[in-house]
Structures are given as structure tokens and as C-alpha cells.
């Protein structure tokens, strides 16, 4: 499906974060943040640099434990669960700085994640299927260290998909891409949500991409959620404009 976000109805709630707080010394990086995402729903997570977006992702995916608040996933409390537990539950994520296993091929990179649920032979087949799905079939046996930035981003997405997630947490997956590459990635991400039923939360600075993809947008500033709603409404919110452009006060 290639239509607008409103053409795909979100399903049952999959993940809910409630009142999350995370401190680093005197800095409150995540400050009483709550949000939810349903199956087939795409949530854009935006905000200025340093707003706490990646710290929130780190909590949701098990890299960080919150100081307070809770996270539920598929109806179960996973607050403070490890990365491995979160991955097995179905939480896949990408990282802003892509770090593939450069000495391995594209195929082997994706196999590593597929081994979470499959024996070796099945993992090999599953990995090849995922590589083709993200449009990298011709690069299947290419060493990861020889890839362009765009291909590394695709590989990062394939690695997240390799654990057979129910939700994708995408951390600036479009950063550094040209307009054509961004449009191709938008189509791909939309297909995962609208055709495969995956929930998606994406950190993104490209507002055009957010407007094209997101069913709703959550805005963070200095660790707090300052807005949430439909993309067209959020970008007109005075608090959001002030956070991005500064206030005249």
C-alpha cells in the first residue's frame, strides 16, 4: 500500500510506556514520558537534538533501565527487561550510527539475528528472504564493510527484521540519504506497517518523511513530551514551533 497514513487503521495496542523517567546524574534525559503504539501504526518521534529521543528508545529496547515508570509489551510488563528478553519478545531496533559486522557478508550479518529463533539452515534461508525484502538481494554475499551508507542503512533495517519483530524502533534510519533513497525507504517502512502489521516508532528529523509516514507524532523537548497528535496538527502547535525555532519571548 502506498497511500497516506490515514488509510491504514491501527490495530490492537502493542506497546505502552507510562511515566518513564531516566536520569544521568543531574540531567533528566527522559522526564515523565508516556506513549503508546498499536499494531500497523507508525509513530513519529521528533524533537530537537538532546530532547531524549534515543534515551527513550534505549529504555524501550532494554539498553537502559528507567528510574521510574513502566513499559508493557503484548500485555506483559517488561519494565527493566534485558536486551535479549526484549528482542525475544519482538522488539527490533536500528541505531543512529550503523555498525555492521564488517568482516561478514550481508547474508551473514542478518543470519546472526535470525539464529535467535531458527537453527542454522533455517536461519540462512530466513536471512536471505529478509535481505531480498529490503531490496539488497544482489548484495547478499557482499562484505558489509564495502557497502555504501544507503546500503548500510538497509542492512541495519534487515538486521532489525531478522529477529522477526512485532515492533520496529527506527533511529534516524533516513539520515544521510538522498531524496530518491528516502522515498524508497518511506515506501519500504510503510509496507512493513500496512502489509505486515508491524508497529513502528521512528526517530526522524526529516519532517517531510514524518508527515508522509506517521499516523501520529510525539514531540519531546528537554526530556518531556510537549505534544502528541496527527502530524498536520502537531507541526502547527505553538509549543512545537518554539522548541524547533525558538520563542520570541
Residue in the structure block whose three cell numbers are 527490533: 92
Same domain, 157 and 176: no
- The DSSP element (H or E) to which 123 belongs, if any, is helix 120-133
Residue at a domain's end among 164, 184, 214? 164
Number of domains in the chain: 2
213 and 239 part of one domain: yes
Find the mean pLDDT for residues 54-71. 97
**Which parts of 7-66 fold into alpha helices (H)?**
53-60
What's the mean per-residue pLDDT of the chain? 92
Q: What is the mean pLDDT of residues 198-219?
A: 94
User: Residues 74, 136: one domain?
Assistant: no
Shared-domain flag, residues 158 and 192: no
Nearest CA among 167, 157, 232 for reference residue 187? 157
- Identify the domain containing residue 177 by its residue range: 1-90+166-249
- Among residues 164, 189, 222, the one where a domain terminates is 164
Domain match, 172 and 243 both: yes
**Distance in angstroms (rounded) separating the CA atoms of residues 189 and 80:** 28
Q: Which three cell numbers stand for residue 234?
A: 502537531
Residue 89 to residues 83, 166, 197, Cα–Cα distance (Å): 10, 8, 16
pLDDT at 249 over 60: no
Q: Which of 64, 16, 4, 2 is nearest to 199 (CA)?
A: 16
How do residues 118-158 score in pLDDT, each as one tens digit?
999 999 999 999 999 999 999 999 999 999 999 999 999 99
Are residues 86 and 171 located together in one domain of the fold? yes
Quickly count: other Cβ atoms within 10 Å of residue 249's Cβ: 4
CATH (domain of 212): 3.40.50.300
- Shared-domain flag, residues 72 and 172: yes
Q: How many residues does the chain have?
A: 249
% pLDDT > 70, the chain: 94
Shared domain for 29 and 104, answered yes or no, is no
pLDDT digits (tens, 9 = 90+) for 154-179: 999 999 999 999 999 999 999 999 99
Q: Mean per-residue pLDDT for 7-36?
A: 90
Verify that 47 and 110 share a domain, yes or no: no
DSSP 116: T
Q: What is the CA radius of gyration of the chain?
A: 18
Whether the per-residue pLDDT at 248 is higher than 90: the answer is: no
Q: Same structural domain for residues 187 and 76?
A: yes
CA 178 to chain CA centroid, nearest Å: 20
* pTM (two decimals): 0.90
Residue 212 CA to residue 193 CA, distance in Å, equals 13
Amino acid at each position: 500500500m502506498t497511500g497516506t497514513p490515514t488509510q491504514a487503521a491501527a490495530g490492537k495496542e502493542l506497546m505502552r510506556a507510562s511515566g518513564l523517567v531516566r536520569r544521568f546524574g543531574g540531567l533528566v534525559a527522559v522526564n515523565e514520558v508516556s506513549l503508546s503504539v498499536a499494531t500497523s501504526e507508525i509513530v513519529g518521534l521528533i524533537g530537537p537534538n538532546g530532547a531524549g529521543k534515543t534515551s527513550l528508545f534505549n529504555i524501550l529496547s532494554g539498553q537502559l533501565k528507567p528510574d521510574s515508570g513502566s513499559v508493557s509489551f503484548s500485555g506483559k510488563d517488561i519494565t527493566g527487561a534485558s536486551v535479549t528478553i526484549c528482542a525475544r519478545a519482538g522488539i527490533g531496533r536500528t541505531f543512529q550510527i550503523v555498525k555492521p559486522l564488517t568482516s561478514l557478508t550481508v547474508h551473514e550479518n542478518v543470519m546472526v539475528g535470525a539464529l535467535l529463533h531458527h537453527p542454522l539452515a533455517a536461519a540462512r534461508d530466513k536471512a536471505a528472504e529478509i535481505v531480498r525484502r529490503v531490496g539488497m538481494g544482489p548484495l547478499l554475499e557482499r562484505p558489509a564493510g564495502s557497502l555504501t551508507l544507503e546500503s548500510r542503512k538497509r542492512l541495519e533495517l534487515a538486521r532489525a527484521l531478522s529477529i522477526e519483530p512485532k515492533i520496529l524502533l527506527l533511529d534516524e534510519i533516513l539520515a544521510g540519504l538522498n531524496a530518491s533513497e528516502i522515498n524508497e525507504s518511506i515506501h519500504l517502512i510503510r509496507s512493513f506497517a500496512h502489509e505486515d502489521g508491524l508497529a513502528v516508532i521512528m526517530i526522524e528529523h526529516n519532517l517531510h518523511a514524518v508527515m508522509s509516514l506517521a499516523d501520529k507524532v510525539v514531540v519531546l523537548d528537554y526530556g518531556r513530551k510537549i505534544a502528541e497528535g496527527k502530524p498536520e496538527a502537531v507541526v502547527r502547535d505553538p509549543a512545537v514551533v518554539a522548541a524547533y525555532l525558538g520563542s520570541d519571548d
